[in-house]
Structure 1
Amino acid sequence: MTIPFELPQEDRKLSPVTGYTRAHWEAVADGLLGAAWRWATPRGALLDLPGAPSVSGVRSDGLEGYARTLLAAAFRVAGADGKDPHGWLDRYAEGLAAGTATPGRDDAESWPLILDHHVQGQPMVESASVALGLTLTRRWLWDRLDDGVRERTESWLRGALTHTPAPNNWYLFPFTVASFLEAVGRGDAATARARERALGLMETWYRGDGWYADGDGRSFDHYNGWALHLYPMLHAHLSGDAELLARFGPRLREHLEGFSLLFAGDGAPVHFGRSLTYRFAATAAVGVGALTGHTPLSPGASRRLASGSLRYFLDRGAVTDQGLLSLGWHGPHAATLQNYSGPASPYWASKGFVALLAPEDHPLWTATEEAAPSEGPDRVLALPAPGLLVQSTGADGIVRLHNHGSDQIPPHAGEAASQEDAHYSRHAYSTHTGPTSLTNVPDNHLAVEVGGARSVRRRILPLGAGHGDGWGWAASWHRPVFPSGAPMVPGLRVESVTVARGRHELRVHRVVGAPPGAHVSLTGWATDALASELTGLHGWAERDAVRAPQGTAYEPWVRVPRLTAPVEGTGVFAALATLGGTAAEAAPADAVTEVTYADGELRVTWTDGPTTVITFTPVSVRCE
């Protein structure tokens, strides 16, 4: 699709895959900024982009427009060592003066106050973008402000230090505010407290394999890259804190070992978790790794991932004909959003421009593009800490993420069905498909049906994960939860195992404690454009396909393959799922020669020789 601003000519010698160079990144930043500023208030304190307001209201959304575009401008100007040909920083300086003049007042320019997260708390999120933007551009913006504006800005920012964040990555927002205030000589006990509090929480949230939980539960998603790694690493890098770099740098490197595999051959990030409208912000960790040197990727591979993701969205309609980032994935897509998503929310994509902090002569921009990790041979990678299994196939560039550990439910919360979240509850996600909406049949889902009520998967408890040569597995269990009004079934549980080999996914589920008259159903990948096959190997009785007319973020209308069977007491069910390729390639006759289940042991013999052996109580998986 055509974007409404001009880009430089492609350079297929330096960037043989994407054609994008550093100049393209600067041009995209300038184009997005120019379009957004057409909707600024007279003095530029608020950018009131067109669209329906978020739950936080129009004024908060306007601050969001200012703060998130400031990030893009800051990365753009700081990366150019202060060169600001479009005069972006003059506009943000005027907006800062106007917004902080009378905070909380209901007029054309005043910013909302920073309050507790449960009391219109969104301004706390934006305070971090303001603080980081001021940190990056200190020499050309902050240092040139008059004393009165600096005092008022500090006073407004301190609201983030004295109010309560949400119990997750939000604690990094006052951390970032504190980092800025200390950098400009305005630190005190409150800034030290906010900084140490966040650093302490980061240690409790770190679970291994380079992954942090987003809070005290088991929420693992793109917030790892664009928040939990980004803010501490930028603080350590910009402040020159060698001790923190030594702590957080190796974790970022380990994170990128697995996370870099979650980008398809066409540049798409895996469609998983909340806030997906931030789009190419998913490459923020890649950019920070390249900038600081804490990355396992070569410079050419890092740029391939970053530029590939940027181009993926630009080519597929993420930018409207007005030059604005839309609320959605490719184009507008309501089911991708959360209630906190407002017209300016997509501009957290600005975090992807962190790569511009690497100057023109940095290897990130001078090295020749190399293949992305998913573009090589087929790979399977188990990440036991977050309970994720990554599967990529080089022939079609598709990456699949099998979720056996991320559920976004805090430890203190219940498992009410009303909280079902399609971006976490499904068993699998990919770079080429999205989850179906909550009003349509769920894709990649194992449901127990009792009295006509279909269960949902909420809290996910991992049972292990591992990988060998060309294969891998992950397992979990969950307690089926039924919609409001349906009875809970004591003792009912589902244990699930995914084994990935090549393009094939062996999906095994053991249902325990099913009451008389219960049924079980399993669905596969939701798509009408790609081949999606789901074939029963053991326990299944019927096979059909269900339509999901609301579609996904990728397609306006999709089919979902489905298997069904009756179940009572304990039942073991095995199926083979595939995405991509052709229906013939997906047929089990071509992949599996024998399936047996006896004495609590399921044995699946593959056509190319090995046998996968799965046992329960406890769950174990081995290859013979």
Structure 2
Amino acid sequence: MMNDVLNIGSRSDFVTLMFQILNPLKPYYTKEKAGLKIGYTSAHYEEKSAQMEGFSRPLWALAPFFAGGGKDDAFDEIYRNGIIAGTNPKSPEYWGKCHDYDQRFVEMAAISFSLLLIPDKLWAPLTDQQKGDFADWLNEINRHECCSCNWMFFKVMVNVALQSVGMPYDQKQMDESLDFIDSCYRENGWYVDGDNGQVDYYVPFGMHYYGIMYAMFMKEIDPVRSERFIERAKLFGKEFAYWFAQDGSALPYGRSLTYRFAQCSFYSICIAAGIEPLPKAVMKGIIMRHLRYWMEKPIFDNAGILTIGYCYPNLSMSESYNAPGSPYWSMKTFAVLLLDENNEFWKIKEEKLPELDNLKCIRYADMIVQRINGAVTAYPGGRLIEHQHTHTEEKYSKYAYSTKYGFSVMHSQVTMAEAAPDSTLAFEVFGHVFVRAQAHDFKVMEDRIISNWSPIEGIDVCSTIIPTKNGHKRIHVIKSKYDCIAHDTGFAVPIDSDIDQECKMICIDGNGKNEILKADPNTNLIASKTVIPMITYEIHKGENYIETMIENM
């Protein structure tokens, strides 16, 4: 098992694991090595871009590996030849001219990171013509619009890379992009992801990861901004630790969860850059436990290829931008390989998480985080933005998200089984199932969350979520123009579980009765077959008051 190499935490352990993950890819590079074809499912962008994505993402691990003194002739040759072919307009594998909001801009980040770390492999061996082609292709990002979110960092990193090798770059666009990133900053280390307006994993593996990269390479040229990024990372890392459970799992919340073990990559880039929001031994423990957690899951296919999904292969939970190569974003966690084998980090013994509060209001993440028996439950305020990506409602708008139980995504709104509405208040009306999506407003306090929302015109709900010692209490005031049914649902638990020992539902006030919903298979991110305990209420026209207790053991 891949987990067998993670007992000590030496550099050789990480290198062995990296090759166990990446070596299965070697037969699937295209003839001139500029693409990687590992599957037949589609994303919304062109197939050539999908294959280019598959090519680029392993570089998040390979570039630090080479920069830290590693050697692998096969990957060395693949990536040098692939970049030459991909940026040569005369090559049949040319990556092509870009357009506004192009997926290829995302992949330029890994290539720019690699150009900064290993110019001796990806730049020095090239002819002047090849260097010109490479630089011209990267400059495509300066000729087009990027999405107003973490993507603005891609313009920054491309221009930093071009500057580092003495090629023309666009200082104005770099400055404008950096100003936009600053506008996304909240407080205490937390950003929102631009126009998406959400706090999710794009804060650690997007905003902070790239900010730290910038500081690593620009500290002499731009010391003020570099120090600002470092200080923000130090603040963030202290509260981000609350998203990790005792068993190494991280909070399943938000989009892009198919990037799996990139969830801890923030701590990896901190270690690589010499930044200590937490002691090194604690950060090493977070990384080690997290990798062990993932390597125990069936996330690879029979050929050893990472699949789209979460704790098992699952296209249902994916976004429209997930192509077969997308999960290799996970390789960001191997940034620690930038440290050579003599670095003290490899000798440090991993430590447990520090003593964390059992209940923590993370104000600038708009959530309360609770720890029960080592597991993490987060209670987010809700979502104020409109629908943005696939399953936005399920990924941001439930009452609770759990490292132990994950969350479920809808197959359809026609039946309760297909809707699989866990950790929410689900209304059955007009032959469909409706749940909380965009909230009218919400308020996150130290001990509770209040949100006002409407599942459908004619029904208005005020929900109050109050964490308790063993779970949480929900109070709902419902004003309805219709007689209908409402289900206050608990976590989706594995189908063979003792439900009351996992998630006990208690009706405190109202006409509720206990029921068990057998959800459609493959709706939950962690367990492929689940049941959902719930309290079912009859809702009448007018004002209704219901109260439910949820105890998760």
Scaled by the length of structure 2, what TM-score is found?
Answer: 0.91
Partner of 1:244: 225
Match status 1:263 vs 2:270: no
> 1:401·1:430 contact (CA, 8 Å) conserved in 2?
yes
Of 226, 234, 238, the residue aligned with 1:253 is 234
Distance between the aligned counterparts of 2:144 and 2:529, measured in 1?
Answer: 45
Amino acid at match of 2:191: Y
Partner of 1:202: 181
> 1:436·1:548 contact (CA, 8 Å) conserved in 2?
no
Q: Cα distance 1:203–1:510, how it changes in 2: closer, same or farther (>3 A)?
A: farther
The structure with the greater share of residues assigned to helix is: 2
Match status 1:514 vs 2:480: yes
Match status 1:75 vs 2:53: no
> 1:29·1:76 contact (CA, 8 Å) conserved in 2?
no
Partner of 1:62: 51
- C-alpha displacement at 1:420, in angstroms? 5.2
Query: Secondary structure, in 3 states, of the residue corresponding to 1:326?
Result: coil
Query: Secondary structure, in 3 states, of the residue corresponding to 1:359?
Result: coil
Amino acid at match of 2:378: L
Of 436, 441, 447, the residue aligned with 2:408 is 436
The within-5 A match list for 1:185-584 is 185-188=166-169, 191-240=170-219, 241-373=222-354, 379-393=358-372, 395=373, 397-406=374-383, 409=385, 413=386, 421-439=393-411, 440=418, 441-460=420-439, 463-467=442-446, 472-480=447-455, 482=456, 488-489=457-458, 492-511=459-478, 513-528=479-494, 529=497, 531-551=502-522, 552-565=524-537, 566-579=539-552, 581=553
Q: Cα distance 1:49–1:438, how it changes in 2: closer, same or farther (>3 A)?
A: same
Distance between the aligned counterparts of 1:416 and 1:49, measured in 2?
Answer: 28
Distance between the aligned counterparts of 2:173 and 2:398, measured in 1?
Answer: 36
Q: Cα distance 1:475–1:142, how it changes in 2: closer, same or farther (>3 A)?
A: farther
Query: Secondary structure, in 3 states, of the residue corresponding to 1:464?
Result: strand
Query: Secondary structure, in 3 states, of the residue corresponding to 1:507?
Result: strand
Higher RCO (CA-CA < 8 Å; seq separation 6+):
2
> 1:226·1:284 contact (CA, 8 Å) conserved in 2?
yes
Amino acid at match of 1:403: P
Distance between the aligned counterparts of 1:362 and 1:568, measured in 2?
Answer: 68
Unmatched 5+ stretches in structure 2: 412-417
- C-alpha displacement at 1:404, in angstroms? 1.0
Partner of 1:596: none
Partner of 1:144: 125
Amino acid at match of 1:113: K
Distance between the aligned counterparts of 1:404 and 1:77, measured in 2?
Answer: 43
Query: Secondary structure, in 3 states, of the residue corresponding to 2:365?
Result: coil
Partner of 1:622: none
Partner of 2:7: 10
- C-alpha displacement at 1:179, in angstroms? 1.4
Q: Cα distance 1:462–1:74, how it changes in 2: closer, same or farther (>3 A)?
A: farther
Unmatched 5+ stretches in structure 1: 12-19, 483-487, 582-624
Amino acid at match of 2:370: Q
Indicate the larger mover: 518-527 or 564-573.
564-573
Aligned length: 537
Identity %: 25
- C-alpha displacement at 1:378, in angstroms? 6.2
Distance between the aligned counterparts of 2:132 and 2:388, measured in 1?
Answer: 46
Tell me the alpha carbon deviations over residues 339-360 of structure 1, each in whole angstroms, 9 at most, x when there is no partner.
2111110111111111222333
- C-alpha displacement at 1:515, in angstroms? 1.4
Amino acid at match of 2:453: H
Partner of 2:414: none
